[in-house]
A and B are shown apart, each in its own frame.
Chain A
């Protein structure tokens, strides 16, 4: 339950609820709230709507900015206690409050998105009104954007749970009341879900719940407030992967039966002219240095976890040098599967160390992707990602074998 609630319009029921999780977003939340308000008013007329700001006890005036934003849709403000931080904490409060309002559709959007538009609310919410269980957006992305997703989130979740959701960790979702109940009952398997793990937790639970999933094509990139992508990479990597590995234990009886993947339904494909993705700068030499540094620090651990087949392969990759660098996808898939299995047998400290040791290998895989696709168009790079996913799927029996 939220530590603090402010419900000035005494809202007790809502058909469509939009949640905006925040921590110190005073500079952004007004614009986001105004777009959400417009979206609800324009695309869900005649339905009872509410916007909920689920906050982490911000001290910068986020709450005041939320209530001051222009618009007519009723609002509720929730806050966690001052000592509790993280998007996952906020969304748990959002789920609990939303349950009391008997909604027909729920949407969450991030507060710090510069280009959020009113129609995003339609795109995320309308498929739910039409019967979908979960909506994941498909933003226009540069081939080198969201490398965590292309490197392992998409291929791994797809081969485990058998559904092709291209941007599973994107941070904005629509979901049904049935999915809300599932979220409320699902295990919050570790503390990481309170932070960066919550987005992948939601999609992973949806995948394992077999609700109809729709990917909503948004026609535009998602532009965040300027962030340093490297700043939180280690934490993000650790929290996202540990969430997936923890849920693999919970849903083992499901994923071990899945053979190949299936597509999802799509929406929004006729609505937009496709915008150009934002440019992404990649420093190949830096990625190479980070990969090589992993040998000095983690080689002993790699030997223990990945064994006599993979470690010589890593040495071979190391010997290639930057110019001819290539990290075979089959090797990468085996590393991911071995890591998932090893994670289950470790204590928390060893798990964290193994995930940290996996990061340089991921950076090596990213470098390999960059080298392979540098002359490819966006479409060709997407085809290449699909080929990599097929390799994960073909090697699925390996994870079933090494798991027990």
Chain B
């Protein structure tokens, strides 16, 4: 069962993603901030990370850079309320992005694609 790490400072988003993704057959763990995120990834070894871009104390795009530098092939999906983040060059280090919504169809599709993208 693929393990997904959801990083978001909004509790209702963590709950929504957890419930729906568990129902879809994934193991889900959550983090409410970017604090010690790299250590968490190192110890929990998720198969995919869903990362909020704007958190109170952390910039998701900076965290994305750190993740990509340390865990080169780990799929990361950016989760955002606005698509203005694309103006920041750092966003191209993400596998995909989704705009936050209560309908998780797009997110689930991107998760499938990202998990299929393990290179031979």
A and B associate: yes
Q: Footprint of B on A, CB under 8 Å?
A: 138, 162-164, 166, 210, 212, 215, 217, 254, 257-266, 269, 379, 383
In the bound complex, what is the Cα–Cα distance between A217 and B65 (angstroms)?
13
In the bound complex, what is the Cα–Cα distance between A163 and B73 (angstroms)?
10
Apart from A217-B89, A262-B75, what 10 extra A-B contacts exist at CB < 8 Å?
A210-B119, A259-B116, A260-B116, A263-B93, A265-B65, A265-B68, A265-B72, A269-B89, A379-B87, A383-B86
In the bound complex, what is the Cα–Cα distance between A164 and B73 (angstroms)?
12
- The interface residues of chain A lying within 8 Å CB-to-CB of B16 are none
> Which residue of chain A has the shortest Cβ distance to B74 in the bound complex?
A262
Mark each residue of chain B from 68 to 90: 1 if its CB lies under 8 Å from any CB of chain A, else 0: 11001101000000000011111
In the bound complex, what is the Cα–Cα distance between A164 and B114 (angstroms)?
14
> Which residue of chain B has the shortest Cβ distance to A255 in the bound complex?
B120
- Report yes or no: A266 in contact with B89, Cβ–Cβ below 8 A: yes
> B32 an interface residue at 8 Å Cβ cutoff?
no
Q: Is the interface of A mostly helix, strand, loop or mixed?
A: loop
- Report yes or no: B89 in contact with A260, Cβ–Cβ below 8 A: no
Q: Is the interface of B mostly helix, strand, loop or mixed?
A: helix
Q: How many residues of B contact A (CB 8 A)?
A: 21
> B99 an interface residue at 8 Å Cβ cutoff?
no
- Report yes or no: A265 in contact with B86, Cβ–Cβ below 8 A: no
> B92 an interface residue at 8 Å Cβ cutoff?
yes
- The interface residues of chain B lying within 8 Å CB-to-CB of A261 are 117
- The interface residues of chain B lying within 8 Å CB-to-CB of A264 are 68, 93
> Which residue of chain B has the shortest Cβ distance to A263 in the bound complex?
B93
- Report yes or no: B92 in contact with A266, Cβ–Cβ below 8 A: yes
> Which residue of chain A has the shortest Cβ distance to B90 in the bound complex?
A269
- The interface residues of chain A lying within 8 Å CB-to-CB of B87 are 379
> B55 an interface residue at 8 Å Cβ cutoff?
no
- The interface residues of chain B lying within 8 Å CB-to-CB of A166 are 92
> Which residue of chain B has the shortest Cβ distance to A211 in the bound complex?
B72
In the bound complex, what is the Cα–Cα distance between A254 and B119 (angstroms)?
9
> B95 an interface residue at 8 Å Cβ cutoff?
yes
- Report yes or no: A269 in contact with B65, Cβ–Cβ below 8 A: yes
- Report yes or no: B120 in contact with A254, Cβ–Cβ below 8 A: yes
Instruction: Sample 20 A-B pairs with CB under 8 A, ordered by A number.
Output: A210-B119, A212-B72, A215-B92, A217-B89, A257-B119, A258-B120, A259-B113, A259-B116, A260-B113, A260-B114, A260-B116, A261-B117, A263-B68, A263-B92, A264-B93, A265-B72, A265-B93, A266-B90, A266-B92, A269-B88
